Amino acid sequence: MPGYHTRPHITFHVPPEDLPHPVESESDLSPGDFAKLAHRVISVWCLRTWWNLRRTGFECTLSPEFPDEGIVVAAACAVPLRYQTNNNVLHVSAVADSPPRVYSHLNVFQNPAQLKRFGVEARRGLVRGVHIPHWQQPRLVERDRRRGDTVRVAAYLGAEENAAPFLKSPEWKRALAKRGIEWRMAARDAWDDYSAVDIAVAIRDPGGLPYDHKPASKLTNAWLAGVPALVGPESAYLALKQSGEDMVVAQSEGQALNALTELTERPERYEAMRERAGERAVEFTDETLTGHWKNLLEEVAIPLWERWMDKSAVAKRIWQAEALAFRAAKSVSRKILPGSG
């Protein structure tokens, strides 16, 4: 009868190729598995979320196929852009870097700017958008506290091709050496190791592009490791700024050099940023983010599923037609060309 429902099954859709090995339960996985899969969007957003939820006893399952009933959480890149689910499904889409799926009922964004851009799709009270931060780097190694408040090593911990060109130049390395700072471009297998890093540098583009589809992971990982960060003016970073100690923002090589020079000359400023990193870190632990996901599923997704199930077949078809028209209009107005994702 309308208005009465038992608790829906909650399923995380993860294709077999995004599993490190066959998985029957959460005990089949370890942090080491996620370290190997850190570059795979589906593994990060769905497999790891399922794993963290199951470790708290939360009832949810894992499926290599897209189910035909209940609440289904799937990475946007795992399904076609215009994928239409069974009418008994509430589709929760972990958007990541992709465009939101046309017919998803609930979108999870990794950058608040995405929420502003796409999260207003509230057609007939069903589509919603929420921001949940990216999971932290697996097996993160914190900065050695015995290093004190002297800046001796600055590092970029990420894909080298994404770093600002000046960070890869010999001139940059020499300029830092003159200031008593060793510069490191961390190898892929060392992206989790902040033990000997004093400043984490995360500048992607000297042109100051906002990168509205990218997460704030390099900043939040630095905070979790107890390391102050020098970042570019990306929207995900700026959205997290609450005080001057949260981060230093630099767009150009000159600004970055000036910022690092100040931190070497003012250890009290470095200490304040280091202490602030520890304060902000609690917002991005696995425990905190798992709580966000539990709240999303219990307080948002289940009520949405109940409202969806109360709709008639005709009302659902109307909703789907409006979803397609809404996306087409948004694509034209924003000059977006939808792809397969």
Domains observed in the chain? 10-136+285-333 (no CATH), 145-283 (3.40.50.2000)
Which segments within 33-75 are labelled E, that is strand?
61-63, 70-75
Closest CA to 117 of 265, 334, 273, 338: 334
User: How far lies 224's CA from each of 43, 220, 252, 277, 292, in Å?
Assistant: 21, 6, 26, 7, 17
Q: Are 8 and 305 in contact (CB under 8 A)?
A: yes
| Residues linked to residue 231 through DSSP beta bridges, in sequence order | 202, 249
- For 289, the enclosing helix (H) or strand (E) is helix 286-295
Q: Which residues contact 20 (CB under 8 A, 6 or more apart)?
A: 29, 33, 36, 37, 43
Residue 3: its pLDDT value, please?
59
- Ramachandran angles phi, psi of 241, nearest 5°: -75, 120
Q: Tokens for 24?
A: 């029957």
Low-confidence ranges of the chain (pLDDT < 70): 1-4, 119-127, 329-341
Q: For residue 24, count other CB atoms closer than 10 A to its CB.
A: 7
